[in-house]
Amino acid sequence: MKKLIVLRHGEAGFSNGLDFQRQLTQKGKSALEQLGKVISEKNISVDFMYCSPATRTRETAQIMGDFLEIHDQKYSMEIYDGHLESLIHLLEKTSNAVETCLLVGHNPTISLLVSHISDGDYVGLQPGMMAILELHVSDWAMVGHGTGSLVEILH
């Protein structure tokens, strides 16, 4: 059974510059470290990680990398530019050798993704929150509406 872990970036500060360059706050970093400790106790190994290339998501992924074994990764503007269809399309292209995939991104798209796949109510992921889904598909190309179950939300 495939597993999808969806993580919203940690709390980010405001910037006079571009949204893309917003950095995590110290509070956001600390909260992610606490989440990292919780997730490391679950002994989850991530075969592949997709991450938005925005500064705050890269920082989030780096912190998670201290607590999770992440075998391979790809940074994709599709996550930053974010439409639900773009995220589904990205997941559909995932190699079937991948059993557990981590996606680090932004709201509202990642919360919509969790609700879409689990066919449940809207799950509003706050900064630094993680949703773990079990997918009822053997092939990533089959990921879509109602193809998974929400197992747990961590923060």
Binding site for substrate: which residues? 56
Closest CA to 125 of 101, 91, 150: 150
Query: Whole-angstrom Cα distance, residue 46 to residue 120?
Result: 25
The binding site comprises 56
Query: Whole-angstrom Cα distance, residue 2 to residue 94?
Result: 11
DSSP reduced 3-state for 140: helix
